[in-house]
């Protein structure tokens, strides 16, 4: 079975801290994605990556950066966490574009105080 | 970016009845596809079904089927014989750019 893991289920950080959210997939997927999910807004795409060292901005990249040094790992970085970044963060991966569905991690609920 | 619209923030259905969840899209692409995912309260995202624009038939998977109407630009999910375990959020992301709509919260009443 495809497995996507995220480093933490729950995380509490202080305003201004640098935060790293890690995502690892074990099925050699080319594509990896970071979303945040907020009530009433659904999932919004932050960044995605189609290959190692490659990244593309999604719809809400401000305040975030990403890193993909290895194919299986995609990290989301909050350079200076703010309270409006309190949210559920979901990582996903998929094979090359086409009819392949995404596989999601369990999510990280981040609270910024 | 393409626009996905799920117009029903919340839906209620009686157990064992069928329910339709709406999903409309706005695109000029000829080749496209839509997924449907289920997200129960546990938070996991579960893939349900996929419909491609060139598929000759509407997609079906067990109790899930798609009412795909290209002219109306809609790909509505039909769940037959609803079960209590169907209570969840439902999303229909766009294949071409993996954008999601706001989702529909389905509640199945006993």
A10-21 tens-digit pLDDT:
999 999 999 999
- Test B100 with A106 for CB contact under 8 angstroms: no
Which pLDDT does position A99 carry in this prediction? 65
How far apart are alpha carbons A32 and B11 in whole angstroms?
A: 31
- Test A48 with B50 for CB contact under 8 angstroms: no
What mean pLDDT is predicted for residues B41-62?
93
What mean pLDDT is predicted for residues B6-26?
95
What mean pLDDT is predicted for residues B63-79?
94
Per-residue pLDDT at A97 exceeds 90: no
Whether chain B has a CB inside 8 Å of the CB on A47: the answer is no
What mean pLDDT is predicted for residues B12-18?
98
Q: Residues A58-92: pLDDT tens digits? A: 999 999 999 999 999 999 999 999 999 999 999 99
Report the 3 state secondary structure along chain A.
CCCEEECCCEEEECCCCCEEEEEEECCCCCEEEEEEEECCCEEEEEEEECCCCCCEECCCCCCEEEEEEECCEEEEEECCCCHHHCEEEEEEEECCCCCCCCEECCCEEEEEC
Cα separation values, A28 from A15, A71, A85, A93, A104, Å: 35, 7, 30, 9, 14
Q: pLDDT confidence of A100, banded at 50, 70, 90?
A: confident
Q: Residues A33-55: pLDDT tens digits? A: 999 999 989 999 999 999 999 99
Per-residue pLDDT at B10 exceeds 90: yes
Which pLDDT does position A98 carry in this prediction? 59
- Taking the CA atoms of A23, A27, A28 and A34 in sequence, report the sign of the dihedral they define: negative
Across all residues in chain A, what is the average pLDDT?
94
Across all residues in chain B, what is the average pLDDT?
93
Residues of B in contact with A43 (CB under 8 A): 91, 93, 100, 103
Q: Residues A52-67: pLDDT tens digits? A: 999 999 999 999 999 9
Residue B108 bridge partners (DSSP): B13
What mean pLDDT is predicted for residues B31-51?
93
Q: How far is B76 from chain A (nearest CA, A)?
A: 17
User: Which of A40, A42, A56 is the mutation pick for testing B, counting most B CBs within 10 A?
Assistant: A42
Which pLDDT does position A16 carry in this prediction? 97
User: Which of B21, B37, B38, B43 is the mutation pick for testing A, counting most A CBs within 10 A?
Assistant: B43
Whether chain B has a CB inside 8 Å of the CB on A45: the answer is yes
Q: Report residue A100 as tokens.
A: 């392949």
Collect all residues with Cβ–Cβ distance below 8 Å to B45 and sequence separation of at least 6.
A90, A92, A102, A104, B37, B38, B39, B91
Which pLDDT does position B3 carry in this prediction? 82
């Amino acid at each position: 079975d495809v497995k996507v893991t995220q480093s933490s289920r729950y995380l509490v950080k202080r305003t201004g801290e640098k935060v790293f959210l890690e995502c690892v997939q074990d099925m050699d997927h080319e594509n990896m994605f970071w979303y945040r999910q907020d009530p009433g807004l659904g999932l919004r795409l932050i960044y995605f990556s189609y290959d190692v060292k490659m990244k593309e901005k999604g719809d809400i990249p401000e305040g975030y950066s990403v890193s993909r040094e290895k194919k299986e790992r995609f990290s989301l970085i909050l350079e200076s966490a703010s309270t409006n970044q309190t949210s559920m963060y979901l990582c996903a991966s998929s094979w090359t574009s086409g009819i392949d569905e995404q596989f999601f991690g369990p999510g990280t609920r981040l609270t910024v105080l | 970016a393409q626009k996905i619209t799920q117009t029903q923030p919340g839906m209620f259905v009686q157990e064992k009845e069928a329910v339709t969840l709406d999903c409309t899209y706005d695109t000029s692409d000829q080749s496209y596809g839509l997924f449907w995912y289920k997200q129960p309260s546990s938070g996991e995202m579960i893939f349900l079904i996929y419909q491609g624009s060139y598929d000759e038939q509407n997609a079906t998977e067990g109790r899930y089927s798609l009412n795909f109407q290209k002219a109306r630009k809609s790909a509505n999910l039909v769940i037959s014989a609803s079960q209590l375990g169907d209570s969840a959020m439902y999303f229909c992301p766009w294949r071409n750019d993996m954008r999601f709509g706001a989702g529909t919260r389905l509640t199945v009443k006993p």
